[in-house]
Structure 1
Amino acid sequence: MDSLTQIILGAAVGEAVLGKKIGNKAMLYGAIAGTIPDLDVLSAFFTDSVTALEMHRGFTHSILFSVVFAPIFAFIVTRYEKFKNLKSWSWLFFWAFITHPILDAQTTWGTQLFWPLDIRLAFKNVFVIDPLYTIPFLVLLVLSMLQKKDTQKRRYYNNLGLIISSSYLVLTMVLKGISYQTFTKELATQNIQYKEIETKPSPLNSILWTANVEKENEYLIGHSSFFDKNPIQFYHYPKNHELLGNLIQQPKVQRMIAISKGWYTINKKDDTLYFNDLRFGTLSIKPNAENFVFKYKIEVDANGVPFFIEEPKEKNDAKKLISELWERIKGN
């Protein structure tokens, strides 16, 4: 999830663990701890794009990291804080650390919760930024913060925030199941034969859902709102995997394919190849849009080794997407 949401979650967890004993400091330390797993993004400054993508949401988002580093951070804090209970501080850091990847596992990218095992959990039931999850949580956290540390109201508001946010995640799981049934029934109605289908919510909401459908030589992308009255339209995206040619044998290309879980297309423009990660879709829901969220230019050095360079995103695309989403959510 986005940084603000992880800060809110960390603060709420910190309050639940130690708020009664140290007041707002529990929220402060919980908020800080809730952002620590995302420090793995710093790897982008020291490694190539492929390695950085492999490391993202890896070790720092694992149970192992939470277990090992929680007491270390707790020990450091007890060196200068008046409250010296090592066990209590360890619990605060552990729960702030572990809830971060558990929440991230609900998104499309997922997390390697069981690192070093090569298992990435990605339930794809919530978008990385979802106001319906974040805003009520934030309001209740602020209300809790304004209460004295030993009052019942403080715990009530904080616990209510945790309950509502967690319940929303459960609800999105149900909505994902409903949308899956809608997509598969529509594919059957349209006599579309396919190999695999994956569904996920569209940006900023849980009403409009997107399906990626794999066929032999192409992918289909369709959108379905719970307010739709007409059949789903699926748009075609040729795989074009053959454009990679001999590059398909290169380790970095194989690693990128593994990162994308095989959901990728290749396109060529002015003799330059582009790798499009289909899992995250496009910054538009218009028919056959090609402004993919994650698009990488493939550059090949003199030794024939490919390098992946992420294409910058256009700010105007994001603004247009919000407008398009609002219209499409209301139904087709």
Structure 2
Amino acid sequence: MDSLTQIVLGAAVGEAVLGKKVGNKAMLYGAIAGTIPDLDTFVGNFFDTITAIEIHRGFSHSIVFSIVFAPVFGWLISKIESKSEATWKNWSWLMFWGLFTHPLLDAHTTWGTQLFWPFDLRLAYKNIFVIDPLYTLPFLIFLILAMRLKRTDPKRKKYNRLGLIISSIYLLLITPALKFYTFQKFENALESQNIQYERMDTRPTPLNSILWTANIETEDAFLIGNYSIFDSQPVNFYSVPKNYDLAGDLADNPNLHRLIQISEGWYTFSKDNGNLYFNDLRFGNMDIEDPDSEFIFSYKLSEEHGELTAKEREKEMTDAQKLLPRLWARILGN
């Protein structure tokens, strides 16, 4: 999830664990714990693109990381807050839950997380977008209400608990129910249109859980369709050719296979100005209403010193500015 959401979750968890003893400092250190796992993005800057992608949401998002580093961070905080009535064990417990709930939340996104690192198993339930105001804003409001009260005020605990309960209901009940409902709609549409397919994957579109996208794999192409719970017209699917033949001599390249594994097999190749691109289909197009628009995650492939390298295609702010109005219009139904 985005940084703000992880800060809110970490602060709320910190309050739940230690707020009664240390007040707003529990929120502060909980918020810090909630941001620590994402420092792997800075580590990735010291590696090539493919390795950086593999590192993201890996070790720092695992149970192992939470268990190993919670007591270390807890010890550091106990030294900083030496006058606090909270002990090293108290701070360690707070840090553990702040670190651990971060990947638990990330597991619900499309990218997922390697919670059980070092095992090669990425959890990705794909029932919430990385930025979802319906999850974050109510949570944030209750957290602000709680932090404005004294630590001994019973309403403080009540507000914080309400924020945790409401956000959890949305994450664990409402969005999975919407995913199941829309999955059935896509299945019915494929059946009614007599489309034979090998597998299907669904996810919410940016900033909401109302409009969903499905990726469907067929023998020679991928079909992509969108469905809003406000739709009144049948689901339409457009085809994206796999173009696997464009890989040519790179087909057996180990670095290419690393990208394929990262994409979970949801990928195509395309050419632009003579350059070969690897497109990760899991995150959709830049413009949901334009099938010919670029994919959000597209990598230019080239060989440097005899080794295949990947460079992410740069995105412009104007791309997002065009996307949002069209996305909103599509959310409201076809």
Indicate the TM-score class for this superposition, using the shorter chain for normalisation: over 0.9
Deviations 1:259-298 (A, max 9, x none): 0001001001222100110000011111413321101111
Contact 2:2 2:130 in 1 (8 A): yes
Q: How does 1:294-313 map to 2 (within 5 A)?
A: 294-303=297-306, 305-313=307-315
Deviations 1:52-79 (A, max 9, x none): 0001000000000001100011011111
Q: Residues of 1 paired with 2:165 and 2:245: CA distance?
A: 49
- Greater alpha carbon shift after TM alignment, 181-190 vs 280-289: 280-289
- Alignment-derived partner of residue 268 in structure 1: 271
- Alignment-derived partner of residue 16 in structure 1: 16
- Secondary structure in 1 aligned to 2:309? strand
Deviations 1:90-126 (A, max 9, x none): 1100000000000000000000000000000000000
Structure 1: which amino acid aligns with 2:212?
W
- Secondary structure in 2 aligned to 1:278? strand
Q: Residues of 2 paired with 1:21 and 1:288: CA distance?
A: 55
Structure 2: which amino acid aligns with 1:90?
S
Contact 2:112 2:122 in 1 (8 A): yes
- Secondary structure in 2 aligned to 1:280? strand
- Secondary structure in 2 aligned to 1:173? helix
Structure 2: which amino acid aligns with 1:36?
I
Runs of 4+ off more than 4 Å: none
- Greater alpha carbon shift after TM alignment, 190-199 vs 41-50: 41-50
Q: CA deviation at 1:328?
A: 0.7
Q: Residues of 2 paired with 1:104 and 1:189: CA distance?
A: 35
- Secondary structure in 1 aligned to 2:202? strand
Q: CA deviation at 1:80?
A: 2.3
- Alignment-derived partner of residue 96 in structure 1: 98
Is 2:212 the counterpart of 1:205?
A: no
Identity fraction in percent: 58
- Alignment-derived partner of residue 283 in structure 2: 280
Contact 2:215 2:223 in 1 (8 A): yes
Deviations 1:125-172 (A, max 9, x none): 000000000000000000000010011100000000000000001210
Q: Residues of 2 paired with 1:326 and 1:79: CA distance?
A: 49
- Alignment-derived partner of residue 193 in structure 2: 190
Q: Residues of 2 paired with 1:311 and 1:294: CA distance?
A: 7
- Alignment-derived partner of residue 231 in structure 1: 234
Q: For structure 1, list consecutive stretches of 5 or more residues without a partner in the other structure.
A: none
Q: Residues of 2 paired with 1:44 and 1:116: CA distance?
A: 18
Q: Residues of 2 paired with 1:44 and 1:56: CA distance?
A: 7
- Greater alpha carbon shift after TM alignment, 262-271 vs 156-165: 262-271
Structure 1: which amino acid aligns with 2:200?
I
Match of 2:248 among 245, 253, 274: 245
Q: Residues of 2 paired with 1:43 and 1:72: CA distance?
A: 20
Please give the TM-score of this superposition, normalised by the length of structure 2.
Answer: 0.98
How many residue pairs end up in the alignment? 331
Q: For structure 2, list consecutive stretches of 5 or more residues without a partner in the other structure.
A: none
Q: CA deviation at 1:302?
A: 4.6
- Greater alpha carbon shift after TM alignment, 244-253 vs 46-55: 244-253
- Secondary structure in 1 aligned to 2:277? strand
- Secondary structure in 1 aligned to 2:295? coil
Q: Residues of 1 paired with 2:290 and 2:5: CA distance?
A: 31
